[in-house]
Structure 1
């Protein structure tokens, strides 16, 4: 068995990044100005020229280095950093803001319900006025 490592398959990396971004081949093809078959061919290629790779990276919203260095193991490690119960990283990322609710959601729901009731009452009154107006027209004829 050879101790040589398998060469990096750039097409598979592109495919996996596209899938993680919940993007279909057709959408990537449209962003690249090509067709789905061409994207399929790219994803089956072991190597891609740098100009094309730059276009693909831009269409995917990532850097060329992100594509070249992509691995499933790195993704798992990256997402595992978010499973900590330590929220200091999150607070640091948003400027230390406290994101607790400053209002009671039930109160907001009740306010919305009361507003809807008032709107229905106005609609009902408008309909009553319309009926009265039409009845007056009929009586006057």
Structure 2
């Protein structure tokens, strides 16, 4: 029986994952943790399945993450969630969306209304010019 609660989360691997995602090198993390830390010591730490709570708290503070990120992140579980979410939404995703209430559609509509207004104004101007020419021509 494979119970997900009985699966051990590898805290050292999680430290490595988050450190890399945040762009921290092992040397930088070692420097931030203090004089008695080195790149080699960080490398060894990242191999440990379980890390002392106080040390996890220090690492969390340096990386500006909650301690729970290292204690609870399970890559396999995350991949399963993402994978199942992707498959379940495939039928929902609209690959030919209609953009109602889309700002670009609104801009196009406003532009078309502006053109119509301009064309009406030109037509009225032409009619007014014709009337003026008629008035002038009648003198």
> Could you state the TM-score of these two structures normalised by the residue count of structure 1?
0.48
Q: Which has the higher relative contact order, 1 or 2, with Cα contacts under 8 A spaced 6 or more apart? A: 2
- Bigger Rg, structure 1 or 2: 2
> Could you state the TM-score of these two structures normalised by the residue count of structure 2?
0.49
